[in-house]
A and B are shown apart, each in its own frame.
Chain A
């Protein structure tokens, strides 16, 4: 609480946002809106055009709750996504960085201060909504839990917004992506429960499935999911997911908030490996082996083999996450190379190239796969032997390493926004590879053209194409060596003296 009590950053936002006239106006507008919503609701119920029977689920409480949640989430996301980037643009952020505020104080102040008007506006309507809910016999405890979970969710969204804002150059950049993610998350969460998915706990990525049972809204939705074999309420799993993911974001923010944008490195090497291990452990905890083993429960759902594919693809994403989080700023990499050449630094240094750490992440992924296989009590997951899985992980690692080294090379060039441009070029490569392979293989009777296995890691997911995938990986290792040569060339180039304007 010391971070919030007398926090100057929080106080600044309170003072600038919550001026009396604005507060009165916001509170009045919010409550007028609530009144209009309740009027509309009562009219629809009276005309029976909405529902014949009065149930909790069509209470006016939900008619108010949904706009509250949308307004709060979108407002928090929008304001936090713009906060740091716009302060950098106005140069006020430099002044913040030259004060004695710690990264923790800055973070706490921004996290709760930037969207304070959103909290206030929605907060003003909560008594109205609760009164309406009580009037229609909605349990008070359910409503309070709902608001608590909504608060947890928007705090997490605000953290994501601050992280994006710290990374982007322009205030509005990245906003669209975040809004898309925000829109899809609830659907994703509900979707996880539908088809005997072997990781049902991932439904807790959305707070909605966990809240539905509180209102007896859907008896078909399970309110619990297995976590390391024990049935745990989805609400607790939501708290675990948002709490732990939020903690990782806090780690990245605390590490970088006071740094110049060009000097940002999201996580340290070991933190990145810790993240990879944590995510694998989480997936292991969420795996419902009974779904994989019980054919009667799973007639058309996921097979053990598909669960392995999920694990492999998930770890491929982790390799990229580790690589991106540990990309070394160009200047530090140059210093590292100079000192490494003189024997003063090791190749695995914090300021060195990220690829060795991606290899360690692959080892962690394989270890998790071993544990996953052991947890099923079978020698292999479906048709996938451990050898197949190791081979696939290797192929994924090779492609991810190539792409991350390409991004690292981009940072050493004169490119503006090198990482963003590098990512776009990588996407273009995969798109082009897909289109070219499909065109060349027109008429070829295969679901995956062999060209695609040579140029992308897709062959790693099809044991039948292992040889092509390995050949493709071999080619990519050649590309990796060439990229390492290019990086070394950039690092050894003597920089020009500054040119005067």
Chain B
């Protein structure tokens, strides 16, 4: 769906993006993470055709964005970090403008405008002037603009920048609903908690290079030689000693009636651990793997660049 092929962008004195190669399949939510200045924005601007690459190519839905820009734009919705909207238009006029600019069939436009306005929750503001809207509402307008033509790919560059926590949560819900409609989303952010539980894949960029790219689960399992497991029980059993005696278990820390430990064996072996505890008289209340957060994964994989 999104193919970045040896994408490179050179400025007179620096290489902003250095031979980035990524393929994002349909339906993926790909989080592009990295410190400020890592090349995320340049990558996204090249991906949506705003910036010509020095070398390499971008294909969206098998169309070369730079060779057939008009055709490619039909499939692309783009939103940047800080942006303005046309303040002297009404909400519906703004969306109507972009629907026409994307050359949608005129007969479909009014219904689509209503649908998108409903999707971003701006029904009551349909006929209001944009200049009277709050920052969060304008951000919703931006999203509405980006999806008005029903693009198959959304390219979002730090979409939550400058938003308050409530607006961020709203944006997150909105993007989740778009994900559910089957859109492929490439989203960049340096605030990793924004992407938590939302992305299916990540790419870590540093100094213009793609340090690591792939599905979160695959990267986690490839990078982790152990799983982190949390167990809860009732009673006063010496769980630390019991766990410490089990094979493949290490770094056991106990906090009240809960313990966290590392397990370096196979999943089948891990499945026996609750049984072992029960057999040794520990009434197990909970047993689950502690998933690594995107932030932990990033910190593990990055070369400690400044965030």
Interfacial residues, chain A to chain B (CB-CB below 8 A): 6, 8-9, 11-12, 15-17, 90-92, 94-102, 258-260, 263, 330-331, 334-335, 411-414, 490, 495-501
Q: Residues of A contacting B11 with CB < 8 Å?
A: 330-331, 495
Chain A residue nearest to B84 in the complex (CB): A90
Given the contacts A95-B78, A331-B54, A100 and B206 also touching, CB distance less than 8 Å: no
Interface size class of B (residues with CB under 8 A): 35 or more
- In the assembled complex, 7 residue pairs joining A and B whose CB atoms fall closer than 8 Å, in A order, are A96-B101, A99-B98, A100-B70, A330-B11, A497-B14, A500-B36, A500-B206
Min CB–CB distance B160 → chain A (angstroms): 16
Q: How far is the CA of A91 from the CA of B306 in the complex (A)?
A: 27
Min CB–CB distance B184 → chain A (angstroms): 16
Question: Which of the candidate stretches B43-51, B232-240, B290-298 sits at the interface with the other chain?
Answer: B43-51
- Among A6, A98, A490, contact of B49 (Cβ-Cβ < 8 Å): A98
Min CB–CB distance A45 → chain B (angstroms): 43
Given the contacts A11-B100, A500-B38, A98 and B76 also touching, CB distance less than 8 Å: yes
Interfacial residues, chain B to chain A (CB-CB below 8 A): 9-18, 35-39, 48-52, 54-55, 69-70, 73-74, 76, 78, 80, 82-86, 88-89, 93, 97-98, 100-103, 106, 145, 206-209, 305-306
Are A498 and B48 within 8 A (Cβ)?
A: no
Are A100 and B37 within 8 A (Cβ)?
A: no
Q: Residues of B contacting A96 with CB < 8 Å?
A: 101
Chain A residue nearest to B98 in the complex (CB): A99
Min CB–CB distance A409 → chain B (angstroms): 11
Q: How far is the CA of A495 from the CA of B102 in the complex (A)?
A: 38
Q: How far is the CA of A263 from the CA of B84 in the complex (A)?
A: 23
- Among A8, A260, A412, A500, contact of B37 (Cβ-Cβ < 8 Å): A500
Min CB–CB distance A420 → chain B (angstroms): 16
Min CB–CB distance B220 → chain A (angstroms): 25
- Among B12, B17, B51, B73, contact of A99 (Cβ-Cβ < 8 Å): B73
Are B14 and A496 within 8 A (Cβ)?
A: yes
Chain A residue nearest to B209 in the complex (CB): A497
Given the contacts A12-B86, A98-B78, A500-B306, A412 and B12 also touching, CB distance less than 8 Å: yes
Chain B residue nearest to A411 in the complex (CB): B12
What 8 A-B pairs come out closest when comparing CB atoms? A99-B101, A90-B84, A8-B100, A501-B36, A16-B88, A501-B37, A91-B83, A500-B37
Are A414 and B13 within 8 A (Cβ)?
A: yes
Q: Residues of B contacting A6 with CB < 8 Å?
A: 100, 106
Min CB–CB distance A353 → chain B (angstroms): 15
Min CB–CB distance B38 → chain A (angstroms): 6
Q: Residues of B contacting A16 with CB < 8 Å?
A: 86, 88-89, 93
Are A497 and B12 within 8 A (Cβ)?
A: no
Q: Residues of A contacting B102 with CB < 8 Å?
A: 99-100
Are A499 and B50 within 8 A (Cβ)?
A: no
Are A498 and B82 within 8 A (Cβ)?
A: no
